[in-house]
Structure 1
């Protein structure tokens, strides 16, 4: 039988391979460690999410868990303990196609202090507004954490989670991973600037203009770049 590269099974395999690659990228980029961090992508009528407790270096596409937006799955492995906020973000934000959650050092350091990140650099426009909000603390894996994360993500593509870590989203997995890197870079720069002196905060109207310009900024497919 001839293989159909556009079949649902082939599409699911490619999406699962992308989740595996992103989980390994989190480690390689220094955004995550051990079995921490999780990734999801919208797929079909539901989504695919990384499983709980499997180190990224031994993760395979068969380990990625398909889930419904009702919060159910039929798989030999359990989904990430954070599947609730992955599900809720994808369900309530149709423009988002992928969610990345990790515990990178500088983002997490500010999250440990419960601090929002102000507009100390124009790159904050990548999250969609003049701040990266820090959601209040709630235990991991709970509906309460999901609700707080959704509130912090209102009008934003990324947020911090108090005493926990960060979330980055995007229309594609590539853009969500890119945003995670940009958020960690910005937090690192802000931490260093606070040691040097008093960082200058850019005005909201400047960030609003930059947000508009950023609608065509960031990683793009070759076909997009040529159009």
Structure 2
């Protein structure tokens, strides 16, 4: 368990170092054998220590947690994602500039680049606005994440999931890059979009090419 706590703190600090979060904005969580470790509310990432991370039990009362510090105000959509998506091992939420700019405009990311396959297909949806930390927002997020591994949230930010905290953080960074490229393409007159068939082919190819790279025996 201590290894999980150390990994989550390392990812939180890496998120800040990569410019995906400022101050205490954003939050991260990790599925473990005992439940969900999540970053606490209102504590800068560089001040976190392993014992500060609250643990939300998947098999306990909804929202109940163990620990001395209260979970992130966004604990609800983290918990609901894990309950709805058994394959999700980690969740990263950030307010990075380009994703947030699109979220402020309430624009989804269309099939502008084959890397859309990284997130399960096109588009990367933008969930409707709801007050942060609410059940309404969580419901919107779950809908936006149907058959997707990432989404934007209107006037808020972005969410990316992964099998591990490292994978979720990498996905969050790649989503920010895709958002930046999409915004730049709009300034150049707008992107030529891939067809549904081209996106499907990219999703299938992505699963093969970007799967585990096993060393030959």
> TM-score per shorter chain, which class?
over 0.9
Q: 1:96 aligns with which of 73, 88, 95?
A: 88
Distance in 1, matches of 2:153 and 2:76, equals: 14
Distance in 2, matches of 1:217 and 1:109, equals: 31
Q: 2:79 aligns with which of 77, 87, 112?
A: 87
Q: Name the counterpart of 1:65.
A: 54
Distance in 1, matches of 2:48 and 2:210, equals: 28
Q: 2:36 matched to 1:38? A: no
Distance in 2, matches of 1:112 and 1:84, equals: 22
Q: 2:10 matched to 1:21? A: yes
Q: 2:107 matched to 1:115? A: yes
Q: Name the counterpart of 1:172.
A: 164
The TM-score normalised by the length of structure 2 is: 0.94
SS in 1 for 2:65: coil
The 8 Å contact of residues 20 and 56 in structure 1, kept in 2 or not, is answered as yes
The 8 Å contact of residues 175 and 219 in structure 1, kept in 2 or not, is answered as no
How many equivalent pairs are there?
213
**Deviation of 1:196 (Å):** 1.2
SS in 2 for 1:225: coil
Runs of at least 5 residues in structure 1 that lack an aligned partner in the other structure: 1-11
Change beyond 3 A, Cα 1:167–1:87: same
Distance in 2, matches of 1:36 and 1:219, equals: 31
Task: Provide the alpha-carbon RMSD of the alignment.
Answer: 1.3
The 8 Å contact of residues 37 and 103 in structure 1, kept in 2 or not, is answered as yes
Change beyond 3 A, Cα 1:91–1:205: same
Distance in 1, matches of 2:8 and 2:167, equals: 13
Q: Deviations over 1:163-188 (max 9, x none)?
A: 00000001111111111111100110
Distance in 2, matches of 1:51 and 1:226, equals: 39
Distance in 2, matches of 1:14 and 1:66, equals: 14
Q: 1:1-227 counterparts in 2 under 5 A?
A: 12-69=1-58, 70-218=62-210, 224-226=213-215
Distance in 1, matches of 2:214 and 2:173, equals: 21
Distance in 2, matches of 1:97 and 1:77, equals: 22
Distance in 2, matches of 1:218 and 1:71, equals: 35
